[in-house]
Structure 1
Amino acid sequence: MTQSTASPPSEPAAATVERGTPSEVFGAFLKLGLTSFGGPIAHLGYFRDELVVRRKWITEAGYADLVALCQFLPGPASSQVGFALGLLRGGPLGALAAWTAFTLPSAALLVVFAFAATALDGPVATGLLHGLKAVAVAVVAQAVWGMARSLTPDRPRAGIALAAVIIVVVAAGSAGQVAAILVGALAGLILCRQGPAVESSHLSFRVPRRVGMICLLVFFLLLFGLPILAVVLEAQGLSLADAFFRAGALVFGGGHVVLPLLQTEVVAPGWVTNDAFLAGYGAAQAVPGPLFTFAAYLGAVMGSVPNGIAGAAIALIAIFTPGLLLLVGVLPFWDRFRKRPFAQAAMRGANAAVVGILGSALYNPVWTSAILSPYDFALALAGFLLLVVWRAPPWIVVLVMALGGAGLALA
């Protein structure tokens, strides 16, 4: 595949993108993977500063179109943008280099934490891990607050979010979450037709339609085939891959939304304890790179084989694969599809439903597992205020709250 951008002479903003090498792409994204703290929105800012402003790999207009595409699709938006930029700059090998360099630093740190956490013992260690669980309360509360303001700004979408909460509470598990998103999309078709007009595209990937169709076919084959194979072959490795693939395929609205999906997939069947789950989620806030690397931690702490390094590798690859397949699959059709009013309306409704799903997860399992006393509430509230009011970097909040948890354990 070769990629370039093209536009009529009257649109100078969409200048031809020069091709680079996979090694150049790897170096640029390794720097980003080691320094990009703060979650997906912050990552997109880092990408813009490094690759649009400084390196000039793509125009501002082209970058805006690319971000719009990746926010429309399920999956980790910042990783999808990085993958697409690598594809644009260095071809398929450049895309692989971008994903690897941006993902591995945080994945490696979380796997190390997984091994260290299992070795910790005593009241101080217990307090540290409980402090990390309180971090999850603060971070998810911040995510719900920010997403509600941007994705449910009117009564129809607020109503869709409330309906999603009810659906998830009544129909527990992944089925309820999928149903909430589908109901949100259908409600959006009826209630959310009003919105800003979509501007013409400034970015065109030369991905053949045949390649896009193959990627979409592989996506659906894995989505529906993995659970069947896991049951027929009774292979825990396939069950693990299926759980993380399904979670990655259904995440709309940012990395934090993966929390309820993963909790359903790994805690409900008893693969990972809820305490270990929330402690790892809290630790994930302290590392750079995509939040989806939380999957590597979960794969490493699985109670059954495969776990450790093998489990981390399976979980990490499985959770990223669906978003990347969908990205390449829709690239040949994106410019035409994004202008259709029904697509815009459905996504407004689905995004509103995502707010409801995440709000439900804020209560259960996050709040119910972490807030066990008034002291826990005070610690979580302090973390929330640090994030929202003082805008402290997430890694500082993680450090403060982990030490606070240790202090409460000794008190």
Structure 2
Amino acid sequence: MAAEQFDQRQEANAAGEVFRAFLKLGLTSFGGPIAHLGYFRDELVLRRRWLSEAAYADLIALCQFLPGPASSQVGFALGYLRGGLAGALLAWAAFTLPSAALLLAFALGADAFGGPMGQDLIHGLKLVAVAIVAQAVWGMARTLAPDRERATIALAAVIILVFVPTALGQLAAIGAGAVAGTLWCRRVDQRAAGHLPVPISRRAGMLLLALFFGLLLGLPAMVAWWSLPGLALFEVFYRAGALVFGGGHVVLPLLETRLVEPGWVTPDAFLAGYGAAQAVPGPLFTVAAYLGAIVEPGPDGLSGAAIALLGIFLPGMLLLMGVLPFWDRLRHYNGARAAMAGTNAAVVGILGAALYHPVWTSAVASPADFAVALAAFVLLTAWKAPPWLVVAVTLLASVALALAA
């Protein structure tokens, strides 16, 4: 009995430690997923010594291999390794909810932006989105499409989306990228170092993978069978979260085709929320809280934000926990690594197509807009300015140009 009570106290202490560590990170982690991984390393690997450098590198390799929000998946896994399922859930909540709450507040206060000054600020956020997406395309192209073969795969993805600018076109581009990768990218070295201790059985992993694919394939049929707005909203965000390869910025084209084109969210509101998401700490996927709160018809508000957040984060976590028990074997298959290299190259093309439409076409309407967006891009890439500062500078420039006009 005494031993059982001691174990319970240990679990409670570990869960509390996880929550405190990730709340600090959730309030201070600006800069996107790559920066988040650096913050995790400094706080949890070097300072707290939750796991070794080699194990951390292996965990990053797994989360980059899978679709989903890489930094949130790494955080979820770190919480699980430290404090079990309670630790994983607390890590996710502490890292995600601060930025989600800020974006929800922005959505609920959207009516305050109805006047001329508010419209100028909205326009400034859209110009921020141009710079942020351009930076993401530039950085991802250098990392994920650095040679002729992968650059060609990225170009093919752009061409596919020019002729099929829908969610089906995005799926076709990803599938074509995977096939091309298995043919052209077998020389790409994506092996990870180290060994990751896995406290999950293979049977549990299979069940989680079955749940992931069951929801991915079954939700569209359920939406067609039951006309429930909440279920339809959940399906949109679940599918986006399940198909995002290459980081949080790639969710932009996936959500745009499912929310803007049917008229659930206006193009201006969509890009404004994406721009606002750059000014808050934590994962970019929390833009789902903003979008879920403003969809029409509902559910909107707090319930819509909760549904959207659950939908967009759940698939990545299910897939991560399902694949963990099989990772050591999977990462040694050259065909799997080659297919992933081709998929990542296609993702560069998908995001490049989104940079033109809807991001550029909806935001840049004059030479002055182009100058502001270019200045924001230079601040991000050459000056390495933090995104929140770029947001503030761009908003001021947008308002100043409107007053001078």
- Count of residues paired in the alignment: 394
Partner of 2:49, secondary structure, is coil
Contact 2:19 2:94 in 1 (8 A): yes
Partner of 2:109, secondary structure, is helix
Counterpart residue number, 2:396: 403
- Which of residues 366, 389, 392 in structure 2 aligns to 1:373? 366
Residue 267 of structure 2 is aligned to residue 274 of structure 1? yes
Deviates more, 1:205-214 or 1:105-114: 205-214
**4+ aligned runs moved over 6 Å, structure 1:** none
Deviates more, 1:65-74 or 1:167-176: 167-176
- Mapping of 1:353-368 within 5 angstroms? 353-368=346-361
Quote how far apart the aligned CAs of 1:22 are: 1.0
Partner of 1:247, secondary structure, is helix
- Mapping of 1:173-322 within 5 angstroms? 173-196=166-189, 198=191, 201-322=194-315
Quote how far apart the aligned CAs of 1:370 are: 0.1
Aligned counterparts of 1:49 and 1:178: Cα–Cα separation in 2: 37
More helix by share: 2
- Which of residues 23, 26, 29 in structure 1 aligns to 2:22? 29
Quote how far apart the aligned CAs of 1:204 are: 2.0
Deviates more, 1:251-260 or 1:227-236: 227-236
Residue 86 of structure 2 is aligned to residue 93 of structure 1? yes
Contact 1:127 1:407 in 2 (8 A): no
Residue 326 of structure 2 is aligned to residue 330 of structure 1? no
- Mapping of 1:63-74 within 5 angstroms? 63-74=56-67
Contact 2:241 2:311 in 1 (8 A): yes
Return the TM-score normalized by structure 1: 0.94
Quote how far apart the aligned CAs of 1:197 are: 6.6
Aligned counterparts of 1:225 and 1:262: Cα–Cα separation in 2: 19
Contact 1:212 1:329 in 2 (8 A): yes
Counterpart residue number, 1:12: none
Partner of 2:325, secondary structure, is helix
Instruction: Describe the superposition over 1:123-146 as per-residue Cα deviations: whole angstroms up to 9, x where unpaired.
Output: 111111100000000000000000
Return the TM-score normalized by structure 2: 0.96
Counterpart residue number, 1:150: 143
Unpaired runs of at least 5, structure 1: 1-17
Counterpart residue number, 1:4: none
Letter in 2 for 1:328: M
Counterpart residue number, 2:333: 340
Instruction: Describe the superposition over 1:99-131 as per-residue Cα deviations: whole angstroms up to 9, x where unpaired.
Output: 000000000000001112222222111111100
Aligned counterparts of 1:305 and 1:371: Cα–Cα separation in 2: 30
Contact 2:57 2:194 in 1 (8 A): no
Quote how far apart the aligned CAs of 1:199 are: 5.1
Partner of 2:373, secondary structure, is helix
Counterpart residue number, 1:75: 68
Counterpart residue number, 1:123: 116
- Which of residues 347, 367, 376 in structure 2 aligns to 1:383? 376
Q: Identity percentage over the alignment? A: 67
Contact 1:123 1:406 in 2 (8 A): no
Deviates more, 1:91-100 or 1:18-27: 18-27
Relative to structure 1, the CA distance from residue 56 to residue 270 in structure 2 (aligned partners, 3 Å threshold; closer, same or farther) is same
Relative to structure 1, the CA distance from residue 409 to residue 257 in structure 2 (aligned partners, 3 Å threshold; closer, same or farther) is same
Partner of 1:202, secondary structure, is coil
Contact 2:188 2:341 in 1 (8 A): no
Contact 1:125 1:406 in 2 (8 A): no
Aligned counterparts of 1:160 and 1:332: Cα–Cα separation in 2: 31
Aligned counterparts of 1:52 and 1:206: Cα–Cα separation in 2: 18
Partner of 2:129, secondary structure, is helix
Aligned counterparts of 2:63 and 2:88: Cα–Cα separation in 1: 15
Quote how far apart the aligned CAs of 1:201 are: 3.8
Unpaired runs of at least 5, structure 2: 1-9
Partner of 1:288, secondary structure, is coil
Aligned counterparts of 1:347 and 1:121: Cα–Cα separation in 2: 44
Partner of 1:21, secondary structure, is helix
Relative to structure 1, the CA distance from residue 232 to residue 124 in structure 2 (aligned partners, 3 Å threshold; closer, same or farther) is same
Aligned counterparts of 1:200 and 1:302: Cα–Cα separation in 2: 44
Instruction: Describe the superposition over 1:62-117 as per-residue Cα deviations: whole angstroms up to 9, x where unpaired.
Output: 00000000000000000000000000000010000000000000000000011122
Partner of 2:80, secondary structure, is helix
Counterpart residue number, 1:104: 97
Instruction: Describe the superposition over 1:39-83 as per-residue Cα deviations: whole angstroms up to 9, x where unpaired.
Output: 000000000000001000011000000000000000000000000
Aligned counterparts of 1:90 and 1:213: Cα–Cα separation in 2: 22
Aligned counterparts of 1:288 and 1:144: Cα–Cα separation in 2: 21
Contact 1:286 1:394 in 2 (8 A): yes
Partner of 2:398, secondary structure, is helix
Letter in 2 for 1:369: S
